[in-house]
Structure 1
Amino acid sequence: MRVAAAALQPAIQEWAAQRPQSVSSNALVGQQRALSALQQALNIGGRYAHSYVVTPAGMRIYDVIKEVEARHHWVHAQKYDWVYVANPDSAFEPLWVNLPAGSAQSFVVQLLTFFQTDINVRGPLRDHMVETFATERVAHYLDLVIDHTFEELPGNELANIIVSHNGDEPFILCDRVTEASLFGSIRLQSVEGTISSGLHLIEAGAILKANGGILAIDAEELLLQPGLWRKLKYILRTSQFHWPQPGDAKIATYYQPEAIPVQIKIFLLGERDIYAQLREHDRDFDNLFPFLADFSSHYSLQKEPLTPYFDYLKYVEEQAAILPLADDAYPALLKFVTRITDFHTELSLDTIAIMQLLREACALARAEQAQTLQGRYIQQAIQQREQRNGYIAELSRRSILEGQVYIQTEEAVVGQINGLTVVTAGGHEFGEPTRITATVHYGDGDIIDIDRKSELSGNIHTKGVMILSAYIANVFARNEAMALSATIVFEQSYHEVDGDSASLAELCCLLSALAEAPIQQGIAITGAVDQFGRVQAIGAVNEKIEGYFELCRTRGLNGSQGVIIPQANLSQLNLNDDVIAAVADEEFHIYAINDVSEALELLTQVQQKQLYERIEQRLNELQQGEREVPWWRRWFE
């Protein structure tokens, strides 16, 4: 089936026309699955209700979690200020006092006044402080030191504010995980050769700063240091934070602040692979992190209406701090976000990638002193990006044009076909054709993959060759062995070949050699095939088509060139304007097929039935000749 130009990209113009007049910034569009999981986690207290958050590439984690916390507060959140105070019984074991959030500074001032007041008249001040800082620990500590003067306290320090909350902090994000940043530290000092610690050397980490609220931790950073993961699990299981001994094992010192009770909600942020590994290798993980919040990198138009996506684009526009988007900017932007996802009905939620493009386009607009960001600036930014990244692709195409790599794009040849591959170089993907050839000879039906024999074939490619061998055996050697064998190879390929996207091309090439039917060299082909000849989807279809089109355009389009792709890949087509224009003018063609028979008819201009009759006639002649020659002559000859 020949694909019309209108089907080569999504309905971008129609989508742009649906943009509402009024939009509101929203970072959480299309994330209902993840939001539901986090809402459930935030409705539950206790130590066994934390959440693992899958964070796709390009998501601005801080923005997303801030928005989540604004919508769904942790029901059991209760934040305090934390102060360590001098222990009247030990200079090395300070005690903790928790205070209403934001009151730590006032408490320390009043505590100093308390010790400066005569012991006999402290009662009213004690009652005032208990009423002002209404926690049990305040009352307990004041009763403990009610008859002590400051001079009687061991050491020369009164208090140290460990955690103080200034305003409504929604959560704490720990994305640079070290032992000090997560758990805090107790530093050491040397005074006249004596190493010791003290109240002022206690420094809280993210766990204590987030105590009573939400702590988000980067999972990969955490797991790079296994000791930190074990320590975190212990805190979550016991709900107690115990300070490590200051210094290392070589320094004999003792300083042990009282353990602080911990009530916290943990969001562990990371990739899906890390989540799978933790579930498989850590038996405690499922108990501590039963909630999976799976954030998506795509917005599916099959499940959601288009209109909310413009709220997401508004959020990206605000974060990028760019010029206002003009009306004609939306078609170019929508094409870009669908191109990232590789599907017609899915839009990208890769915030950083979209921001990068918009900022680059905005720089071009500001250079021309434009007042709005127009579509031509976005297209220009995309073209500049392709030009920056296209050096390797240009070298590859030049090697073909100069004849160093032999690729035909005209005439017809037996046993030779142009397959399509995708090359990844430095994070940039581009498509290029590769010449596949096949020869047949007398034998026992084996198909020899030269790339595999020379150890240049990956496992998936080897599997693909075995599948096409099974197809040929099923069609032509169901009742008796074939008297023909074949060899197949990727010509001028000097690196490992992997993947099964060339298996359809290899099968057509083999059948061409068996039937001695020439293949049109102007038509390249990509697709995987199963044992019954059904054509299956492949990846990077746009890059493959555009790579071959550029070669044909440089040599000169003649109206007979084109590409054969699987029908299943139609929903992924999102080609550039040059390809669409060439298809509309019938200078270049794209064919979508479901079965190998359709590909053979397009490539050889011969119906499959006639083609297979040629192959069977040839095989019968060989089988007849084999039976007429005595076995001993065949052996010695």
Structure 2
Amino acid sequence: MRVPVTALQPPIHAWAAEHNAETHASALIGQVRAVTAVKQALNSAGRYAHGFIVTPAGLRTYDVLKELQQQQRWQHAQLFDWVYLANPKSAHEPICVNLPAGTASEFLTELWAILEAPVEARQASLKELQAKVSTPRITAYLAQIAELSFADLPGNELATIIVEHQDEEEFVLCDRVTEASLFGSIRLQSVQGTISSDLHLIEAGALLKANGGVLAIDAEELLSQPGLWRKLKYILKTSQFHWPQPGDANIAAFYQPEPVPIQIKILLLGDRDIYAQLRELDRDFDNLFPYLCDFSAHYPLSTLPLKPYFDYLAYVQHEADVLPLQADAIPLVLKFASRLSDYQTELSLDTIALMQFLREANVIATAAQDQAISGQHLARVLEQRQQRDGYIAELSRRSILEGQVYIETQGAVVGQINGLTVVTAGGSEFGEPSRITATVHYGDGDIIDIDRKSELSGNIHTKGVMILSAYIANVFARNETMALSATIVFEQSYHEVDGDSASLAELCCLLSALAEAPIQQGLAITGAVDQFGQVQAIGAVNEKIEGFYELCAARGLTGQQGVIIPAANLSQLNLEPHVIAAVERGEFTVYAVKHLNEALELLTQADQKGLYEKIEQRLRELQPQEPSPSVWQRWFGS
């Protein structure tokens, strides 16, 4: 099927027509599944109700957490200020007390005044303070020091504030995870040669700062530090935080503050691989983290309306801090977002990539002293990126144009075909054709993959070649062995070949060699194939098409050149404007096929039935004939 021009990219201009000035910036557009899961986790109480947030590339975690906190708070705990007070009974075991959020400083000022006052004059102040701060821990402590003075308290310090909340706290994010940053630490001091610690040397980590609220932790950072995951698990299971011994284990400096009771909601942040590893390797993980909050990298227009996506773009534009977008810039932003997603019906939610795109355009617009970002500025960004990233692709194309790598784009050749591959080298990824050849010879039906024999073939490619063997055996050798064998190879390939996206090209090439039918060299092909000849989808279809187009354009378009792709990849087409323009002018063609037979007819310009009859005739001619019986055999039957 010849692919119509309108199918080569999504309906960008129709989408852009829905844009209007009334937008409400939001980082959570298209994340209904994940937001619902987070809310379910925040609505659940108990120590076995934490969540794991899958964070795709480009997600700005802090922005997402900030907006989530505005929508939903954890209602099953209360924020307190946490203070350590001198223990009248032990200088090495300070007492932990909790106070209503934001009252720690005022409480310590009043406590200081009480201790300075004579014992007989304290009762009224003690009752007033106890009525103001009525937590059980404070009540117990005030009873202990009711008749004590400063001289009766050990050490040189009365108290230290560990955590104090000034305002309503947002989610606490711990993205640089160390033992000190997560759990806090107790430092040491040397006084006249004696190593010791004191109240002011106790420092809280993110866990205590978020106590009573929500703590988000980077899972990869957490797991990269030995022992931290096990320690966190223990705290979550026991709801108690015990301070480690300060300093090195070899230093005899006993200082053990009272444990802090923990009531907290943990949200781990990481990719799906880390989530899978934790589930597989830790039997406690599913119990502690039952809520999977799966943030999406794409906005599916097949199931969601387009208009909310403009609210997301408003958020991106605000965070990028760029000039406003003109109307003609919207289609290019949408095309860029669609290209990132690899699907015509999806738009990317990669915030960082979109911000970079707009900021590059903002630099160009600012340099031109324009007041807004136009489509011309965005087009210039794409040109600059192609210029920056295209050096390796240009070198590769030059080697073909100069004849160092042999690739034909005109004429017809038996047993030779242009497959489409994607090359990743030096940080660049681009499509280019790869010449595949096949030869046949008298044998027992084996297909020899030269790349595999020379150990240049990956497992998936080897599987693809075995599927080719199965297809040919099923069609031509179902009832008797084939008298022909074949060899197939990627010519001038000196690195490992892997993947099955060339299996359709290899099968067409083999059938061309068997039928002695020339293949049009102006057509390149990509696609996987199954044992029944059905053509299956492949990846990077746009890069592959554009790579072959650039080679043909450099040599001069003839109108007979084009590419053959799987019909299953039509929903991923999103080609560059100059390629679409060439297709529209009839200088280049894109075909979509569902079955091997369609591809064969395009490549050989011959009927598939006729090709198969030629192959069968050739096989019959080479089939060994039974010798005529001799006279002796006729007489004696042997």
TM-score in terms of structure 1 length: 0.98
Matches within 5 A, 1:121-520: 121-520=121-520
Which deviates further from its counterpart, 523-532 or 36-45? 36-45
Q: Which amino acid aligns with 1:277?
A: Q
Q: Which amino acid aligns with 2:491?
A: E
Give 3-state SS (helix, strand or coil) of 2:227's partner.
Answer: helix
Task: Kindly provide the CA deviation profile for residues 562-614 of structure 1, in whole angstroms up to 9, marking residues without a partner as x.
Answer: 00000000000000011100000000000000001111110100000000000
2:90 alignment counterpart: 90
Shift in Å at residue 386 of structure 1?
1.5
Measured in 2, the distance between the counterparts of 1:211 and 1:586 equals 67
Give 3-state SS (helix, strand or coil) of 1:571's partner.
Answer: helix
Q: Is 1:565 aligned to residue 565 of structure 2? A: yes
Measured in 2, the distance between the counterparts of 1:378 and 1:544 equals 24
1:635 alignment counterpart: none
User: Residue 31 and residue 626 in structure 1: after superposition, are their counterparts in 2 closer, same or farther (change >3 A)?
Assistant: farther
User: Residue 462 and residue 64 in structure 1: after superposition, are their counterparts in 2 closer, same or farther (change >3 A)?
Assistant: same
Query: Structure 1 vs Structure 2: percent identity of aligned residues?
Result: 70
2:7 alignment counterpart: 7
2:636 alignment counterpart: none
Measured in 1, the distance between the counterparts of 2:587 and 2:612 equals 31
Measured in 1, the distance between the counterparts of 2:15 and 2:497 equals 40
Shift in Å at residue 46 of structure 1?
1.0
Task: Kindly provide the CA deviation profile for residues 518-558 of structure 1, in whole angstroms up to 9, marking residues without a partner as x.
Answer: 00000000000000000000000000000000000000000
User: Residue 236 and residue 481 in structure 1: after superposition, are their counterparts in 2 closer, same or farther (change >3 A)?
Assistant: same
Task: Kindly provide the CA deviation profile for residues 68-92 of structure 1, in whole angstroms up to 9, marking residues without a partner as x.
Answer: 1110111113101111000000000
Q: Which amino acid aligns with 2:368?
A: E
Measured in 1, the distance between the counterparts of 2:627 and 2:267 equals 75
2:622 alignment counterpart: 622
Task: Kindly provide the CA deviation profile for residues 434-466 of structure 1, in whole angstroms up to 9, marking residues without a partner as x.
Answer: 000000000000000000000000000000000
Measured in 2, the distance between the counterparts of 1:425 and 1:137 equals 64
Give 3-state SS (helix, strand or coil) of 1:115's partner.
Answer: helix
Task: Kindly provide the CA deviation profile for residues 49-82 of structure 1, in whole angstroms up to 9, marking residues without a partner as x.
Answer: 0000000000000000111111011111310111
Give 3-state SS (helix, strand or coil) of 1:226's partner.
Answer: coil
Q: Which amino acid aligns with 1:350?
A: D
User: Residue 629 and residue 587 in structure 1: after superposition, are their counterparts in 2 closer, same or farther (change >3 A)?
Assistant: farther
User: Residue 352 and residue 183 in structure 1: after superposition, are their counterparts in 2 closer, same or farther (change >3 A)?
Assistant: same
Q: Which amino acid aligns with 2:232?
A: L
Q: Which amino acid aligns with 2:439?
A: T
Q: How many residues are aligned here? A: 630
User: Residue 453 and residue 118 in structure 1: after superposition, are their counterparts in 2 closer, same or farther (change >3 A)?
Assistant: same
Measured in 2, the distance between the counterparts of 1:548 and 1:628 equals 56
Shift in Å at residue 302 of structure 1?
1.1
Q: Which amino acid aligns with 1:278?
A: L
Measured in 2, the distance between the counterparts of 1:108 and 1:8 equals 71
Shift in Å at residue 44 of structure 1?
1.1
Structure 2, unmatched stretches of 5+, are 631-638
User: Residue 426 and residue 128 in structure 1: after superposition, are their counterparts in 2 closer, same or farther (change >3 A)?
Assistant: farther
Give 3-state SS (helix, strand or coil) of 2:327's partner.
Answer: coil
2:542 alignment counterpart: 542
Contact 2:392 2:428 in 1 (8 A): no
Structure 1, unmatched stretches of 5+, are 631-637
Q: Is 1:590 aligned to residue 590 of structure 2? A: yes
Measured in 2, the distance between the counterparts of 1:143 and 1:26 equals 52
Task: Kindly provide the CA deviation profile for residues 370-413 of structure 1, in whole angstroms up to 9, marking residues without a partner as x.
Answer: 10111111111111111101111011000000110000000000
Shift in Å at residue 139 of structure 1?
1.5
Give 3-state SS (helix, strand or coil) of 1:170's partner.
Answer: coil
Shift in Å at residue 174 of structure 1?
0.2
Matches within 5 A, 1:512-531: 512-531=512-531
Q: Is 1:46 aligned to residue 46 of structure 2? A: yes
Give 3-state SS (helix, strand or coil) of 1:398's partner.
Answer: helix
Measured in 2, the distance between the counterparts of 1:262 and 1:240 equals 5
Shift in Å at residue 5 of structure 1?
1.1
Q: Which amino acid aligns with 1:326?
A: Q
Give 3-state SS (helix, strand or coil) of 2:623's partner.
Answer: helix
Q: Which amino acid aligns with 1:401?
A: L
2:606 alignment counterpart: 606
Measured in 2, the distance between the counterparts of 1:364 and 1:523 equals 39
Task: Kindly provide the CA deviation profile for residues 466-496 of structure 1, in whole angstroms up to 9, marking residues without a partner as x.
Answer: 0011000000000000000000000000000
Measured in 1, the distance between the counterparts of 2:259 and 2:532 equals 68
Give 3-state SS (helix, strand or coil) of 2:126's partner.
Answer: helix
User: Residue 628 and residue 318 in structure 1: after superposition, are their counterparts in 2 closer, same or farther (change >3 A)?
Assistant: farther
Measured in 1, the distance between the counterparts of 2:20 and 2:73 equals 30
Give 3-state SS (helix, strand or coil) of 2:410's partner.
Answer: coil
Measured in 1, the distance between the counterparts of 2:170 and 2:108 equals 25
Measured in 1, the distance between the counterparts of 2:628 and 2:36 equals 76
Give 3-state SS (helix, strand or coil) of 1:83's partner.
Answer: strand
Which deviates further from its counterpart, 430-439 or 111-120? 111-120
Q: Is 1:75 aligned to residue 60 of structure 2? A: no
1:63 alignment counterpart: 63
Q: Which amino acid aligns with 2:429?
A: E
Measured in 2, the distance between the counterparts of 1:361 and 1:136 equals 60
Give 3-state SS (helix, strand or coil) of 1:418's partner.
Answer: strand
